[in-house]
Amino acid sequence: CIVYNDYKVGDNISVIITARDHNKNLKTYGGDFFKAKLFSSELKASVYGEVVDHRNGTYSVTLLLPWEGQAHVFVRLEHSSEVVQILKKYRDSSFPRSHYNGHFEGSGPNKTRIIEVVECNLKWGAEGSWRKGSCCCEYKDIKTGTVWQCERPKKLSCDKLVYHSRGSMENPLNPFEKQFFAKTLTNVPITGDTQIINILPNTTDIANGMA
């Protein structure tokens, strides 16, 4: 809902968002990711406001009214609190989302050419999750400090790495979690008060300028 008053250019408008769960029940907790904006189709202009989470299922937004004329408020649910928690879980984990291949080349017996392809990835997550010992070859970027780790080739030494290539992409979500990323549950427009907001000129500023 929108708390209405007589508005002028430079005023603020307060918007209250009430969240519901996937069963349309009112939420009593926060964590949802909303975006709210004021827009004018005629002027092709818009301005976003900061959404404040009150941790009880309600959110408030303050929007600046920067132009004269008509405007509408638009609210979108980018991700529900359930999806936000899933994203945080995998953001903080050491799960390798992308896999890469390391291509090693070198000379073998009788001048034969040996080519080996092994799995590589960045060292990611907590130190305790890193692979250690003689299992891997490591390459540190001096500028960024990141460490690239490849499985040790069976026949070639670590200095025979020639290049990397993109491997497979792995989806970490389990079947239950995948349900929350359905198109009908993310990036959802929120229906509410659709009343047009009329914004009048700010005559106070004009009067002050003439004084």
pLDDT in tens, 78-130: 998 988 888 888 776 666 567 889 999 999 888 899 999 999 988 765 554 45
Q: With 90 as the cut, is the pLDDT of residue 28 above it?
A: yes
pLDDT in tens, 179-192: 777 767 788 888 87
pTM confidence score: 0.62
Residue 37 pLDDT grade (very low, low, confident, very high; cuts 50, 70, 90): very high
> Could you tell me the CATH superfamily of domain 2-89+175-210?
Immunoglobulins (2.60.40.10)
Per domain, the residue ranges of the chain are 2-89+175-210, 95-169
What is the DSSP secondary-structure string of the chain? Answer: -EE---EETT-EEEEEEE-B-TTSPBPSS---EEEEEEEETTTTEEEEEEEEE-SSSEEEEEEE--SSEEEEEEEEEEE-HHHHHHHHHHHSS----EEEEEEEEEE-GGG-EEEEEEEEEE--S-GGGS--GGGEEEEE-TTT--EEEEEPPSSS-GGGEEEEEEEEE-----HHHHGGGSTTTSSEEPP---PPEEEE--HHHHHHHH-
